[in-house]
Structure 1
Amino acid sequence: MSHSNNIKTAGHSLENAKKALIMIHGRGGNATDILSMSAYLNVGDYALLAPQADNYTWYPNSFMAPEQSNEPWLSSALEVIENTLQLALDKGLQAENIYFFGFSQGACLTLEFLARNARRYGGAVAIIGGLIGEQIDPGKYMGNFEQTPIFIGTSDPDFHVPLERVNASVNILEGQHADVKLAVYPNFGHSINQEEITIANKFVFH
């Protein structure tokens, strides 16, 4: 199975915007849900792009399952993000003016895509996510973020995403010269809090 390129849009058109935000929804969510988060972010003048996963999930198993068990969905999901990014680039936006926001499964997918394709982006926000695979394979991750700001927020504990994996992911990203800010909230639960929104706006969408 592969995902269709079903990209929902909001905000300004790519032709008229100077910046774009790619938003990746979580398991069971949808593009419209994640686009609604933009109302809380300082992205009023951005073009907003949110691809929709077929069957509302990007890959079937845990992000820490053996990678092969999530194929071919995982590779297709990463290709969808690549296509969404390329859509913005083809309209003349520079990578340093393209931003990312992902939640849960969407945060894992966002971080995985960025680490595999590191360059100077505008910035990224990943709420409750980490790099994908049974073990992290540093050999998959290439490129230089050139101090791209990446904010990661998470709960400890989180049923789906262990803090140990989040910390290991931060180490990889920092090794690729990302400017990573991590915020850990004890027993907060699997959701997004107001402080994370505030940090995202100050650190990434300023």
Structure 2
Amino acid sequence: MSSLVRFLFTLAAAIAAASLLVASLRRRAPPPGLPAQLVPPSHMAGRNRSFVLWLHGLGDSGPANEPIRNFFSAPEFRLTKWAFPTAPRSPVSCNHGFVMPSWFDIHELPMSAGSPQDETGVLKAVENVHAMIDREVSDGIHPENIFVCGFSQGGALTLASVLLYPKKLGGGAVFSGWVPFGSSFTERISPEARKTPILWSHGMDDRTVLFEAGQAGLPFLQSVGVNCEFKAYPDLGHSLSKEELLYLESWIKGRLQASQEKDG
């Protein structure tokens, strides 16, 4: 093969390779005139993510509550991260010191509006919950897309954790819970925390955490300027109902939609 033929052959191969590269780049680039909002920046995916933390009741476990997430099938929960931690095992006074999963000590059951509270234990448990929330915020989830929910003792811890967190969260959902500290703690509630909405659900036939203990939460929250939606369920004892969980899905979904519209 002559030098001229070899040169022409090499030139043709180079031109073909360049053409393929240009075509490839054109396929990767967005079509001309495509609106910028249709090509979302990477940080928007993080803003659309959400986190739901579920806190179980006395003697229960996190894994036993994981089926709760099956009630949340709306598209808004596609990017939701769930956490179902288990409380540490410790002696519980109302159960004669028996060791069981417990977020803090409980002195008596049934729980009434005037029952004594383990405020020191509550604060220690709150620190652990805040550490879980802080990890998600550090991972890029916006605080207003974070929801803390809990049943019974977990509901009481939910309330304390949300009120004592320094930032506004997406919301706190209390099921069959109570206010686990005295009025002196109101000074620790930051102006931002007072903006976090609360959903409070309680069975009127509850014989473990009396309905009066749940009812006392509404005027307490109103006194500190926290918005609370209180829902009473006739004939419901100390348990979670399907109706409560379906309403929780709708409640959280509405707030996620509002958060996404605000970002948009």
Q: What TM-score range do you get, normalising by the shorter chain?
A: 0.7 to 0.9
After superposition, the Cα gap between the structure-2 partners of 1:40 and 1:175, relative to the gap in structure 1 and judged at 3 Å, is: same
2:222 match: 174
Q: Which sections of structure 2, spanning at least 5 residues, go unmatched?
A: 1-45, 90-100, 255-264
Output the CA distance in 2 between the equivalents of 1:162 and 1:118.
30
RCO comparison, higher one (Cα < 8 Å, 6+): 1
Q: TM-score, normalised by structure 1?
A: 0.79
Contact 1:51 / 1:84 at 8 angstroms: preserved in 2? no
Q: Which sections of structure 1, spanning at least 5 residues, go unmatched?
A: 1-14
1:52 match: 86
Q: In the alignment, does 2:71 pair up with 1:40? A: yes
Equivalent position amino acid for 1:139 in 2: T
Output the CA distance in 2 between the equivalents of 1:126 and 1:179.
13
Which range moved further: 171-180 or 98-107?
171-180
After superposition, the Cα gap between the structure-2 partners of 1:193 and 1:77, relative to the gap in structure 1 and judged at 3 Å, is: same
Output the CA distance in 1 between the equivalents of 2:190 and 2:81.
26
Q: TM-score, normalised by structure 2?
A: 0.63
- The structure with the largest helix share of the pair is 2
Output the CA distance in 2 between the equivalents of 1:192 and 1:161.
13
Match runs of 1:27-176 below 5 Å: 27-42=58-73, 43-55=77-89, 56-62=101-107, 65-67=115-117, 70=118, 73-117=121-165, 119-133=167-181, 135-137=182-184, 139-144=186-191, 145=193, 147-176=195-224
Aligned length: 189
Equivalent position amino acid for 2:81 in 1: A
Which is greater in Rg? 2
Identity %: 21
What's the CA shift for 1:41?
2.4
Contact 1:124 / 1:204 at 8 angstroms: preserved in 2? no
Output the CA distance in 2 between the equivalents of 1:184 and 1:26.
19
What's the CA shift for 1:127?
0.8
What's the CA shift for 1:16?
10
After superposition, the Cα gap between the structure-2 partners of 1:65 and 1:165, relative to the gap in structure 1 and judged at 3 Å, is: closer
Give the SS at the match of 1:204.
helix
- The structure with the largest strand share of the pair is 1
After superposing on structure 2, the runs of 4+ consecutive aligned residues of structure 1 that deviate more than 4 Å are: 62-65
